[in-house]
Amino acid sequence: MRNTARWAATLGLTAVTVCGSLTGPALAAPAAAPTSLYAPSAFVLTVGHGDSAATVDAARAVTLNCAPTPSGTHPSPALACAELRAAGGDLEALAGPSGAVCTRQYDPVVVTVDGVWRGKRVAFERAFANECVRNAAVSSLFAF
């Protein structure tokens, strides 16, 4: 019987040594993720045919990340991010006409931009009269 008590005590001490005390301090919480030096600037852009985003299925979608470096599936992320920075994130200014000549055919194309620009939430929608007008916008942001 004495051998059994010694064996139980040895197992108990081994368990406390390996696993820690049951009444001791809790495991440390994982370290918080480091914060970025840059405010987030990332978007999902969609395009589809129709009058408004509420009634259109997206025909194409791309991603655009502008901080810390331009990236994403947008065909020209560096240029699009540079244009956004130059416009101070004003998507209305970037959607304006460039003066290109387009037909007057009405086949509306809707572009949406959802995401974050320098930490602030962005939700933008613009209906262009047709593909030519969309592609002729001042910015390459909408050319995808």
Q: Tell me the whole-structure pTM to 2 decimals.
A: 0.69
> In which band, very low, low, confident or very high, does the pLDDT at 32 lie, cut at 50, 70 and 90?
low
Place of tokens 């108990």: 12
Cβ-Cβ contacts under 8 Å for 39 (sequence gap 6 or more): 67, 116, 118, 119
Q: Which residue has the higher pLDDT, 89 or 138?
A: 89
| Distinct helix (H) and strand (E) counts, the chain | 4, 4
What domains can you pick out in the chain, each with its CATH number?
A: 42-142 (3.30.350.10)
**Predicted local confidence at residue 114, as pLDDT:** 96
User: Amino acid letter at 117?
Assistant: W
Start-to-end CA span in the chain (Å) = 81
Q: How far apart are CA 64 and CA 50, in angstroms?
A: 23
Using the 8-state DSSP alphabet, how is residue 71 labeled? B
Q: What is the pLDDT, as a whole number, of residue 45?
A: 96
Inter-residue contact 85 to 118 (CB < 8 Å)? no
Kindly report the number of other CB atoms within 10 A of residue 47's CB atom.
20
Q: What angle do CA 84, 89, 94 make, to 5 degrees?
A: 60
Kindly tell me if the per-residue pLDDT of 122 is higher than 60. yes
Element (H or E) spanning 63, and its range? strand 60-65
The string of pLDDT tens digits covering residues 44-59 is 999 999 988 888 888 9
